Structure 1
Amino acid sequence: MFSALSAQKEGSSLLSRPASEDQDQGPVFERLSLAYSPCSERYKVGERSFSRQYAHIYAARLMQMRPLLSERAQQKWGSEVLIKRLCDLQTAEQCCIVGTLFKRMELQPSILREISDEHNLLPQPARAKYISETDELILEDELQRIKLEGKIDRNKCVTGSVIAIYGAERNDGKFTVEDFCMADLPPQTPRPVLSSDRFVLLASGLGLGSSHADSMLGLQLLIDMVTGQLGDQGEQSGAANISRVLLAGNLLSQSTQDKDASTKPKYLTKKTQAGSVEAIRLLDELLLQLVASLPVDVMPGQYDPTNYTLPQQPLHRCMFPLSSVYPTLQLASNPHIANIDGVRFLGTSGQNVLDIQKYSSMDSHLEILEETLRLRHLAPTAPDTLGCFPFYQKDPFILEECPHVYFSGNATTFGSKLVKGPDGQEVLLVTIPEFSSTQTACLVNLRTLECEPVSFSAFSANDDEESEMNISH
């Protein structure tokens, strides 16, 4: 792992006498260059029209997923299983149905309830989760819908998931579920055998523009470590094995979002500058230090200056006059797919995971990542509770090829897990912690698919006077 590569080498102490001009200045560590190909064309939005109905994306999703789930159902329950549409159901007949889940939730926020504020009614309190015991689970296809009961956890399910259920319809018109299955992991291209360790650094939630000065010190330490300006020869030789940096969203802080700017009178905002302007300038200066040394992928997030709806388009190059000169700066979309030395990376800035966390009983980001992987869909809750474009021919969030590394940004804590699929697929799940609050990034070894956190703790107002700066792998 990276910590072993960066171990202090003998005779390379930082306290040794500096070399004179006539002597050798020490070893030079060449940074590995990796083959890279972006694969995010499916997330580039051409015509940005909102004149279509969102029902089209559900129809396209079900049409794409139906053959996959029918095949998976026959593998699980036998080739003789009856696969029917809802309109062909017969009472008490055992069969399989493929459809889209819809969860009716009383606590789900509604624009109609927000409008009721005008009638002096108390607004709903903010909640961390919107599930309750009165929730109802419904399955629908192109023509009909039916209520579900039985062996299916309604609290864990979310609206928009396409699954296959097995059971029978009762006399009261409800469907009793005996078992269900998901599409599971898609086909995967074999991972190449690499001869040496090479690392990709993942970080998210830099939170520039906030008032936390200690996070800026930790961020500068991170940049110095990656560029080889921190530590002795052991640290520098380890840093040479970091071949790429991927920044997964929320580069700017939430405090840079001025939600009242559109409603303020013009004369009050005439000579004021948006909070994001200074934060973008700072981001450009930090990126300049990185791209001068190695390639960097920059994904937008919830608080960054791009479109709000998924898929978020890349940040515009004109915002980075210093760093955009370098060809090593890769402005990516959210979600983002890339092949790095034959290892396929797929991930988001975390909006899809945080949204599922609100509308289900799942709390672990790793569990939610695995669930979306087995559903074979990146964002099942879009467009119900997560904003997205009204696609009508094809749902771009369906996973057609299995990644080797599947990540999500802006998590509360770091986590990693190796998941195996039914056909031998191996996927490393990674939850990237928010750097501004945890001072932690993570490193993925492309050779072994192992992941470890790298933490930078700096001085803070709450620390004791005797506390020290610490960098740990």
Structure 2
Amino acid sequence: MFSELSAQREASSLLCRPASEDQGPVFDRVLQAYTPCSERFKLGERSFSRQYAHIYAARLMQMRPLLTERAQQKWGVNVRIRKLCDLQTGEQCCIVGTLFKHMELQPSILKEISEEHNLLPQPARARYISDADELILEDELQRIKLEGKIDKDKCVTGSVIAIYGAEKNDGKFTVEEFCTADLPLQTPRPSLSSDKFVLLASGLGLGSSHADSMLGLQLLVDMITGQLGDQGEQSGAASISRVLLAGNLLSQSTQNKEDSTKAKYLTKKTQAGSVEAIRLLDELLLQLVASVPVDVMPGQYDPTNYTLPQQPLHRCMFPLCSVYPTLQLVSNPYQANIDGVKFLGTSGQNVSDIQKYSSVDSHLDILENTLRLRHLAPTAPDTLGCYPFYQKDPFVLEECPHVYFSGNAPSFESKLVKGPDGQEVLLVTVPEFSSTQMACLVNLRTLECEPVTFSAFSADDDDESEMNISH
């Protein structure tokens, strides 16, 4: 797609003799209309004195009308919709509630520090699911155990769903069917007359010791700024209207947790690894923002608050590039309107957390599940750090995006999902650049997505390795 457009440009090749001694043509970068829409993820006065039960109550209140409507569409307008306190044994009915997954293997600090039972610390696990897990449905007043036709391994705590079935004599609810809120309504996507691209990249991993990663990163910057290739490639680079960096700009190695436990006199003259990494990031961003608008999202290893929603990085950390109006420091999650195409995405913490507590392997499938649940981070605040919201849950999707992405994925995947009311959403898992040397390009006109790979010399490669850039 992108490479084909670049090849079709009428321009000379690098292997041809220069036509003249002049500088050559100058390609103007395409312009786009941009409207940030992340206000609901911005925190004003922060208070952590509230209980987390309020966010579950607010989530259920927001989702109940949506799920009631969806249940009536699925099981008929005359379906009995009951609350748990009104259940009658043997009656076929529908219940709307929040799932709680009781997991024996779920890490608990109380288990680890318990002295009366002399428990050993739990071993590190990639997943915490087991056959002994139980599903429980809660509403404002009561809870009930679930059994039947619902896959407990694929469900996670915090999901608001509607179930249909009946309560048995043993006090458990036998599920016959269930449904989610599914995709919200979507604003029609405008028709664009020309191809415009948004480049998505994540997991730059600055501050690590991999030199080949830095070479690939510089190649990426050179491609975006039009300093690679012949005139056809430069003309193609001019069609990249925006760059979005989706978190983990710094490497995990910049977080030295041992320094926080050392005596102050031992760390008095040492410098945190993140200081040099931020300086490198500032210099890289300076090259980009001088040529193209850039949105910078924070991630798990970046110097901002740990809990979701993560607030934008502070401008004082970027003395070189912060003077450019093309630099936008944004929150995680991120939402914006680019030429009428609505983008929504995260740096990947929500997807990685769901993967630990469910049997779903693919990041793309998890991304689709959160879209159909109509919630960005259902496992927050149970196993994912989250601010204790009181009156409203900002992670509930009120409008359907056109592009829904997740950063720091192990590999690149994309998929076009269609909703029951004609919605079309492009799902994209943006790979971690430091390990895959890969970014991806989204065409705003067609909603097509393709990866861009930068491979370079590495100490682990054979002598016959060669550097290449492929679309």
TM range (shorter): over 0.9
1:323 to 321, 324, 328: 321
Other structure's SS at 2:114 match: helix
Aligned residue identity for 1:14: L
Question: For residue 15 of structure 2, what is the aligned residue in structure 1?
Answer: 15
Question: For residue 429 of structure 2, what is the aligned residue in structure 1?
Answer: 431
The 5 A counterparts of 1:73-84 are 73-84=71-82
Other structure's SS at 1:58 match: helix
Native 8 Å contact 1:8 1:233 kept in 2: no
Other structure's SS at 1:103 match: strand
Aligned residue identity for 1:291: V
Native 8 Å contact 1:8 1:232 kept in 2: no
Aligned residue identity for 2:418: K
Other structure's SS at 1:5 match: helix
Other structure's SS at 2:258 match: coil
Q: How big is each residue's C-alpha offset from its partner over 1:143-202, in whole Å with a ceiling of 9 and x where there is no partner? A: 000000000000000000000000000001000000000000001000000011100000
1:106 to 99, 104, 107: 104
Q: How big is each residue's C-alpha offset from its partner over 1:414-457, in whole Å with a ceiling of 9 and x where there is no partner? A: 00000000000000000000000000000000000000000000
Question: 1:90, CA displacement in angstroms?
Answer: 0.2
Question: For residue 216 of structure 2, what is the aligned residue in structure 1?
Answer: 218
Question: 1:10, CA displacement in angstroms?
Answer: 6.6
Question: For residue 146 of structure 2, what is the aligned residue in structure 1?
Answer: 148
Native 8 Å contact 2:112 2:120 kept in 1: no
Question: 1:19, CA displacement in angstroms?
Answer: 5.8
Gaps of 5+ in 1: none
The 5 A counterparts of 1:178-189 are 178-189=176-187
The 5 A counterparts of 1:187-266 are 187-266=185-264
Distance 1:94 1:266, change over 3 A: same
Question: 1:12, CA displacement in angstroms?
Answer: 1.4
Question: 1:121, CA displacement in angstroms?
Answer: 3.9
Native 8 Å contact 1:199 1:446 kept in 2: yes
CA distance in 2, matches of 1:86, 1:189: 36
Native 8 Å contact 1:42 1:396 kept in 2: yes
Question: 1:48, CA displacement in angstroms?
Answer: 1.2
2:83 to 73, 82, 85: 85
- Between stretches 109-118 and 221-230, larger displacement belongs to 109-118
The 5 A counterparts of 1:157-196 are 157-196=155-194
Native 8 Å contact 1:8 1:235 kept in 2: no
Question: 1:25, CA displacement in angstroms?
Answer: 2.7
Aligned residue identity for 1:91: T
Question: For residue 463 of structure 2, what is the aligned residue in structure 1?
Answer: 465
Aligned residue identity for 1:4: E
Question: For residue 42 of structure 2, what is the aligned residue in structure 1?
Answer: 44
What RMSD, in angstroms, separates the aligned Cα atoms of the two structures? 1.2
Native 8 Å contact 1:14 1:231 kept in 2: yes
Q: How big is each residue's C-alpha offset from its partner over 1:231-263, in whole Å with a ceiling of 9 and x where there is no partner? A: 011110110100100000000000000112221
Distance 1:118 1:310, change over 3 A: farther
Other structure's SS at 1:68 match: helix
Native 8 Å contact 2:11 2:230 kept in 1: no
CA distance in 1, matches of 2:272, 2:19: 49
Question: 1:17, CA displacement in angstroms?
Answer: 3.4
Other structure's SS at 1:243 match: strand
CA distance in 2, matches of 1:14, 1:409: 35
Question: 1:466, CA displacement in angstroms?
Answer: 1.7
CA distance in 2, matches of 1:332, 1:85: 40
Relative to the length of structure 1, the TM-score reads 0.98
Other structure's SS at 1:453 match: strand
- Between stretches 43-52 and 426-435, larger displacement belongs to 43-52
Question: For residue 287 of structure 2, what is the aligned residue in structure 1?
Answer: 289
Question: For residue 3 of structure 1, what is the aligned residue in structure 2?
Answer: 3
CA distance in 1, matches of 2:367, 2:219: 30
Overall identity of the aligned pairs, in %: 87
CA distance in 2, matches of 1:53, 1:155: 28
Question: 1:16, CA displacement in angstroms?
Answer: 3.1
The 5 A counterparts of 1:244-393 are 244-393=242-391
Task: Work out the number of aligned pairs and report it.
Answer: 471
CA distance in 2, matches of 1:364, 1:9: 37
Other structure's SS at 2:235 match: helix
Q: How big is each residue's C-alpha offset from its partner over 1:286-306, in whole Å with a ceiling of 9 and x where there is no partner? A: 000000001000000000000
Q: How big is each residue's C-alpha offset from its partner over 1:16-65, in whole Å with a ceiling of 9 and x where there is no partner? A: 33465xx4432221110100000000000112111000000000000000
Aligned residue identity for 1:466: E
Other structure's SS at 2:345 match: strand
CA distance in 2, matches of 1:289, 1:401: 35
